Amino acid sequence: MTNEDVGTNSVANRLQVGPREGVTYPIQMKYCGHCTMPIEYCEYYPEYEKCKDWLERNMPDDFERLKIEEEAAAADGTDDDKKRQKRGGKGLLRVKKKEDVPKRICVSRAARGKKKSVTVVTGLSTFDIDLKVAAKFFGTKFACGSSVTGDDEIVIQGDVKDDLFDVIPEKWAEIDEDVIEDLGDQKRT
């Protein structure tokens, strides 16, 4: 047998079709409850610390195993090479830091055509409120269309500006009526 035959044989073994010896099927994957990826890939997620917390609470055995592997990689000095991007692709996602923006909600009315108007609500995201959920709530509450149009803007069809001063603090207890500001009539840009 030549060296070429030995090399071909090992490649054929690695590319073997069908079930492998020593592997139980079906393969059970364990997923992280925070990032929803397999737990082996949590380290590549931008919020890895939150994944670690979730793993420690819900999967202590797997957390210990990953912790031991991490310590071994740190001792070898291979940890930095894993996270550094070699070439191409987008690299590791960056988590946006929230700026210290004053917490206030602005409510205004904007004309839409001659007789119709829309109500614009901005500032809900400063209170960590999911804008899609809020838009859905406003749409069902006022029986109208409501959508998220910008980074921090919800447009509600119809003039419901006056009702919002009561509805928002009622729905979200952390918002006081004093932080809601009426900007009056404005033109939409």
Q: Distance (Å, rounded) from C-alpha 96 to C-alpha 151? A: 13
pLDDT in tens, the chain (189 residues): 555 555 556 777 777 787 878 888 888 888 888 888 888 888 788 888 888 888 888 888 888 888 787 777 777 665 455 555 555 555 555 555 556 667 888 999 998 888 899 999 998 888 888 899 999 999 999 999 999 988 889 999 999 988 998 899 888 888 888 888 888 888 776
Secondary structure (DSSP) of 46-58: TTHHHHHHHHHHH
Q: Where are the domains of the chain?
A: 24-75, 105-186
104, with CB counted inside 10 A (0-12, 13-18, 19+), is middle
Tokens representing 20?
């492998």
Helix or strand or coil: residue 79? helix
Strands across the sheet with 146-150, in order?
146-150, 153-157, 116-122, 105-112, 180-186
Tokens representing 124?
């809900």
Q: Report which of 94, 27, 65 is spatially closest to residue 52, judged by C-alpha positions.
A: 65
Q: Which CATH class is domain 105-186?
A: alpha beta
State pTM to two decimals. Answer: 0.48
Per the omega criterion (within 30 degrees of 0), is the bond before 26 cis?
Answer: yes
At position 100, the amino acid (one-letter code) is D
Cβ atoms 154, 134 nearer than 8 A: yes
Residues 6+ apart with CB under 8 A from 155: 118, 119, 120, 121, 146, 147, 149
